[in-house]
Amino acid sequence: MELTRYILRRMVLSAFVVLGVTFLVFIVAQVVPSDPAALYAGPRPTAEQIEKARQELNLDAPLIQRFAGFAKAMGTGDFGVSYKSRRLIAEDLRAYLPATLELAVFSTGLALLIGIPLGVLAAARQGKWPDRLGSFGSIAAVAMPTFFLAMILQLVFAQWLGILPLSGRLSREISVTAPLSMMTGFNLIDALLAGRLDAFGDALKHLILPALTLASYPAGVAMRLTRSAMIEILERRHVTAARALGLSEPRILFGHALPNAMGPALTVIGLSFAYALTGAVLVEIIFAWPGLGRYVSEAILAKDFPVIAAVTMVVTICYVVMNLLIDIAQALVDPRVALS
Amino acid sequence: MTRLVQRLGWPGTIALVVILLLVLVAVLAPWVAPYPQQGVGVPNVAAKLSSPSAQYWLGTDHLGRDMLSRIIYGTRISLTNGVLIVAFSLLIGLPVGLAAGYFGGWIDEALMRGTDVFLAFPALLLAVLMAAALGPGFLNSIIAVSVTWWPWYARLARSEVLVLRNQPYVEAARLAGVSHGRIIIRHILPATGRPLTVQAALDVGPALLTAAALSFLGLGVLPPTADWGQMVDAGRKFFPARWWYSATPGLTIFIVALAFSVLGDALRERKGGTARASA
Amino acid sequence: MNRRHFLQTAALAALASATSSRWNLAMAEGSGSIFTLAYPTSFPDLDPATSFSNDGAVLANVYEGLTRYIPATETAEAKIEPLLATSWDVSEDGKTWTFHLRDGVKFHDGSPLTSEAVKGSIERTKKIGGGAAFIWGSVTSIETPDPLTVVFALSDPQPIDLIASAGFAAWIYAPSSHDKDNAWFNGGNDAGTGPFHISRYEPGQRAVLDRAEDYWGKVPEGGFQTVSFEIIEDTTLAQNMIESGQADWTYSIPFENLEAMKANPDLRVVVNPSFETLFGLYNVKRAPLDKVKVRQALSLAFPYDDVISAGTMGLGTRAKGVVPAGIWGHDAEAPIPQTDLKAAAALLAEEGVEPGLELVMTYSTTQALSAVAGELWKANLETLGIKLTLQPMAWEAQWQLGKSNPEAAQDIFVMFWWPTFVTPYDYLVSLFHSEEKPNFNLGYYSNAEVDAKIDEAAKLSGTDRPRAEKLFIEAQRKVIEDAAAVFMVDRPNVHIIRSDIKGYDDNPAYGHVTFVNELSR
């Protein structure tokens, strides 16, 4: 009963947050010191062209009326057209959102894959050099500027070693001569569905460097959380008992202690996903990743407001939904959460 | 000194020394920079893009300015950035948190749900959105980051107040008819201040990291002011052939952020807390 | 995703990537007939009526206009070449133009090129009225006396032969597309007569073109079957792609990196003058820039040579007024100032300008050359006691500020100008002709004598080009004398192309357009 109430409350609050975000985005838009009509009218418009655009965009309507129109557009997912390209934004989002989500999911996986085993190792060797090295590594991962890490990874893996591609989502050979038909928009899944192992491998190779860049921070956090959770559990009685029974150390670690340390993993998933959505702006530019980050940064440069608003809304909704799911999952794993 | 090392451990002490050195360099920039004029921004075209040498220890940029001097002058911007972001955020976050925690009820609910809206934005995206709306510039970029930063302090302050609110001496003051404003200022603020100050000081690191990300995107200070993030971006066009242009400011940002991180870690004494996310 | 599943995926991936590298190799051997261009900007609008941006690079390979402009070289004069029209003539008063169309040309949908198609295209372009449609402003009616003859009637004399050669809004497209909307074209459809048709368009990523059947023009031996326009914003990536052979052509590589590329035997660095001039318009409505001598002093303080050497690695050229070299109306002997700080100081003293004057220069965030010019200028002005604030802005915001109240606007508006079609008129009328409400004359310069010369020259440019040229040059000299603007530098056009590509020739009249049909490997 408590749990249901908790979940309901969280859902209502999430809806409220989304509404607040809509309002905030609209307010920010009013501050932007540029004329949307001039942008909509093209690169070198005449005064008449701008006037025509102003009418088409209904820019002279009162503020309230425009907010109502804006909220309706955001609510229905009909984001209108980009002022700059006049393309349907919903259509662009369909192309870019999966790319960003693919990167976010993959980097989250990578963060767990790197962070959790390292955390277990550090806990098992508490106070010894793997532990110290690990803690330092995790601090360094947090302090590393994303854009700088991206450049270093490109330098080492793409330019010096030449084993991974510098940028993009697919090689030119595949994208130009034998393109994947878009089904889900996730290249890895589309490639598998089409039975194209070549494209799958290619897509995977392109994913590694940007995902690694985004995974460094959450991996550091995952490591620390796992380590402290593990240390706490390793000192508990049933583990001590298992040890007394003569079970091997790896079995204790992975069989008994680790399952109990899954709580932190959930936290990390939420954090990493959020971080990937945020970091996308920087990482997608550097790796020429055709996702929301690159899309929105171009729109920001051009003050293409409908695009900025649409991306902000979509990303925020992803973010809020993800947080909601994590909170619910955490409440299910550990009902104490719901009571606090 | 020995006591300091005992309290912070070696890594923490080194980090503290690095940070103090940094502050010193920022203050003494005109005296420690080999070419103060170039540090401020005067071009030196004849020496453009020289590699590191005895004359220019870290090489020069695309206008021939000494990288070392630029980085030294950049210290001023970066530290002011970090400090001001944290200060602005405290200025907004602290009152909100205090009011929410102290009064509770619908005030608490309203203030904290408002805070949630800001927290729901991915931080960098909101900062970029704000910076784009305000236009590039030193103060604008600070405001942009502060907007994403203050909710943390609001939450922190609120949770501190929740504990203090029911302390006997606060109760006593309230029963004695002392006004709310006075209680907050005289009793609650000093007690919440300390943990918050420590947290804020440590946040200078992540804050300047976020500011660097903004200026990397071209939304930071105006040229020719030296700024690390902007330097990394400007140098990226010449990377890796002229690696020093991007790598030296990039490494500087890393070292400074690392120092703050290590110090924070030492102060938290190996608790499994999470450090602040930044870009 | 649980751990076991993850490991399985990873193992599968390792397997797949081994297969794919073999496959890549096989592909690379057979990829000789793809020409890949790395473009730094996206193609916002593929509608031939409204396209007015870098999309012209794609459209110029898909569509054709009636004529094409071939710029002057050291050995030959500029000329207008027949394209879809084979010949044309103009009436005495310059108000009636007759074009004879090429026979046997087919649109990509199979329909033939007719005078009706030409009329329909231009009428659709005019009706939508977006992009550069204003170039047809003087056309009052289009007659089609027979299927291969088009007659334009004008309200006032205009050089329709030049206008028809424009890289924007002058495309001729198939009648079947005249009732289509913008979205149809931006969905990756086309209706041109050009050597290629669009086979795939992924916005923000690439446009892939394939050779059109039945192209009327000549196709060189070993010409390309496929053209891929890859959108690569990052110059580091573009450079890497061209060096590794993943791209065959690119531009906007930082000038500083060109030395190394010139030394690379796989690459050819092609430097040409561009038709883009960088200049700063002085706000003549605001003190103390309302005084000619103050403006002259600022222009004398501009570090022309340093900007060429530091900003363009010596590849740029001194701007001689607003009309760049290669366009008729260019004034090679223009009386341009040389950097002279002493003379500048003297002029400032004469006008009683005290040290401590503060000026604001706005420029577009994306223009690195403007930033360099600004930083160098700022340093010079500092020695004169003038503080120049550099204010980078998004273009739209910069323009918005410029168009608002001149009293409250910037002091110096820095921008590039490129011609819509090749005529000095475009530069002069947009930037220095009096405007009631500022649109692009963002220095708010207004001079009746200059206006009269520009207007008169415009009337003559269809019928008496030498006389028109003389008037344009006179107008420019007056602008220079009045120091209405500082003409900073003519930007070089630098294109990098793989050295195994044959037949490459840059045409600055079509900025950063590559006519792929003429190339082969």
- Identify all chain B residues contacting C260, using CB atoms and an 8 Å cutoff: 241
My answer on whether C252 and C396 are in the same domain is no
Pick the residue of A34, A100, A169, A268 with the most C CBs within 10 A to test the interface with C by mutation: A34
Could you tell me which CATH class the domain A102-291 is placed in?
Answer: mainly alpha
| Residues in A 173-232 with any Cβ partner in B closer than 8 A | 217, 221, 224-225, 227-229
Pick the residue of A142, A226, A323 with the most B CBs within 10 A to test the interface with B by mutation: A142
Pick the residue of C243, C378, C494 with the most B CBs within 10 A to test the interface with B by mutation: C378
* CB nearest C36 (choices: A85, A96, A172): A172
The pLDDT value recorded for residue C25 is 38
Taking CB atoms and an 8 Å limit, are A279 and B217 in contact across chains?
no
CA distance C261 to B127: 38
* CB nearest B212 (choices: A139, A145, A217): A145
My answer on whether C328 and C450 are in the same domain is yes
Parallel, antiparallel or unpaired: strands C485-498 and C267-282: antiparallel
Pick the residue of A26, A147, A298 with the most B CBs within 10 A to test the interface with B by mutation: A147
Taking CB atoms and an 8 Å limit, are B237 and C236 in contact across chains?
yes
Check: pTM over 0.80? Answer yes or no: yes
Taking CB atoms and an 8 Å limit, are A85 and C208 in contact across chains?
no
* Beta strands across the sheet bearing C149-154: C85-90, C96-101, C149-154, C139-146
CA distance B195 to B190: 10
pLDDT band, residue A303 (cuts 50/70/90):
confident
Which residue numbers of C have CB closer than 8 Å to B's CBs?
Answer: 235-236, 254, 256-257, 260, 306, 309-310, 365, 371-372, 374-376, 378-379, 382, 389-394, 397
The pLDDT value recorded for residue A288 is 85
My answer on whether C286 and C301 are in the same domain is yes
Q: Are C224 and C35 in contact (CB under 8 A)?
A: yes
The CATH number covering residue B180 comes to 1.10.3720.10
Beta strands, E only, B73-153: none
- Residue C384 belongs to a domain: yes
Q: What's the 3-state SS for A189-215?
A: HHHHHCCCHHHHHHHHHHHHHHHHHHH
Phi, psi of C434 (to 5 degrees): -55, 140
Phi, psi of C314 (to 5 degrees): 80, 5
- Residue B68 belongs to a domain: no
Range of the domain at C95: 67-177
My answer on whether C75 and C130 are in the same domain is yes
- Residue B226 belongs to a domain: yes
- Identify all chain A residues contacting B274, using CB atoms and an 8 Å cutoff: 221, 224-225, 271
Q: Please identify every stretch of chain B with a pLDDT value under 70, giving residue numbers as ranges.
A: 1, 269-279
The CATH number covering residue C17 comes to 3.40.190.10
User: Residue C434: which of C415, C413, C448, C423 has the closest Cα?
Assistant: C448
CA distance C192 to C56: 13
Judge whether A166 is closer than 8 Å to chain C, CB to CB: yes
pLDDT band, residue A32 (cuts 50/70/90):
low
Q: Which ipTM did the prediction report?
A: 0.85
Alpha-helix residue ranges (DSSP H) falling in C36-114: 56-62
- Residue B3 belongs to a domain: no
User: Exposed e or buried b for every residue in A45-60, given b needs 16+ CB within 10 A?
Assistant: bbeebbebbbeebeee
The pLDDT value recorded for residue C108 is 95
My answer on whether C475 and C374 are in the same domain is yes
The single-letter code of the amino acid at B93 is G
Question: What average pLDDT does range A204-216 have in this prediction?
Answer: 94
Q: Are A52 and C131 in contact (CB under 8 A)?
A: no
My answer on whether C320 and C404 are in the same domain is yes
Counting DSSP H helices and E strands in chain C, the numbers are 16, 16
CA distance B161 to B178: 17
Q: Quickly tell me which residue has 């975000």 as its tokens.
A: A21
Reported as a single tens digit per residue, the pLDDT across A176-198 is 777 777 778 888 888 888 888 88
My answer on whether C147 and C98 are in the same domain is yes
Q: Which residue of C has its CA nearest to A289?
A: C205
The CATH number covering residue C483 comes to 3.10.105.10
Subunits next to C (3 or more Cβ pairs <8 Å) are A, B
Q: Which residue of B has its CA nearest to A144?
A: B254
Taking CB atoms and an 8 Å limit, are A31 and B261 in contact across chains?
no
Instruction: Tally Cβ neighbours within 10 Å of residue A118.
Output: 23
The pLDDT value recorded for residue A7 is 85
Taking CB atoms and an 8 Å limit, are A21 and B135 in contact across chains?
no
My answer on whether C239 and C121 are in the same domain is no
CA distance A212 to A157: 12
The CATH number covering residue C97 comes to 3.90.76.10
Domain count for chain C, please give it.
3
- Residue B124 belongs to a domain: yes
Q: Which residue of A has its CA nearest to C397?
A: A34
Q: Is B179 helix (H, G, I), strand (E, B) or coil?
A: coil
Q: Please identify every stretch of chain C with a pLDDT value under 50, giving residue numbers as ranges.
A: 1-31
- Identify all chain C residues contacting A166, using CB atoms and an 8 Å cutoff: 237, 240
Judge whether B239 is closer than 8 Å to chain A, CB to CB: yes
Instruction: Tally Cβ neighbours within 10 Å of residue B5.
Output: 12
For residue A237, pLDDT over 80 is answered with: no
- Identify all chain C residues contacting B242, using CB atoms and an 8 Å cutoff: 256
CA distance A19 to B117: 9
Taking CB atoms and an 8 Å limit, are A217 and B277 in contact across chains?
yes
- Residue C50 belongs to a domain: no
Domain coordinates in residue numbering, chain A: 102-291
Reported as a single tens digit per residue, the pLDDT across C370-406 is 999 999 999 999 999 999 999 888 787 788 888 888 9
pLDDT band, residue A340 (cuts 50/70/90):
low
Domain count for chain B, please give it.
1
Range of the domain at B161: 75-271
The pLDDT value recorded for residue C373 is 94
My answer on whether C112 and C74 are in the same domain is yes
The pLDDT value recorded for residue C343 is 95
- Residue B145 belongs to a domain: yes
- Residue B20 belongs to a domain: no
Q: Is C82 helix (H, G, I), strand (E, B) or coil?
A: strand
For residue A33, pLDDT over 70 is answered with: no
* Residue B273 half-sphere exposure toward CB, CA atoms < 13 A: 12
Q: How many CB pairs under 8 A join A and C?
A: 146
- Residue B207 belongs to a domain: yes
Judge whether A259 is closer than 8 Å to chain C, CB to CB: no
Parallel, antiparallel or unpaired: strands C386-393 and C85-90: unpaired
Taking CB atoms and an 8 Å limit, are A173 and C131 in contact across chains?
no
Taking CB atoms and an 8 Å limit, are C392 and B218 in contact across chains?
yes
- Identify all chain A residues contacting C42, using CB atoms and an 8 Å cutoff: 85, 298
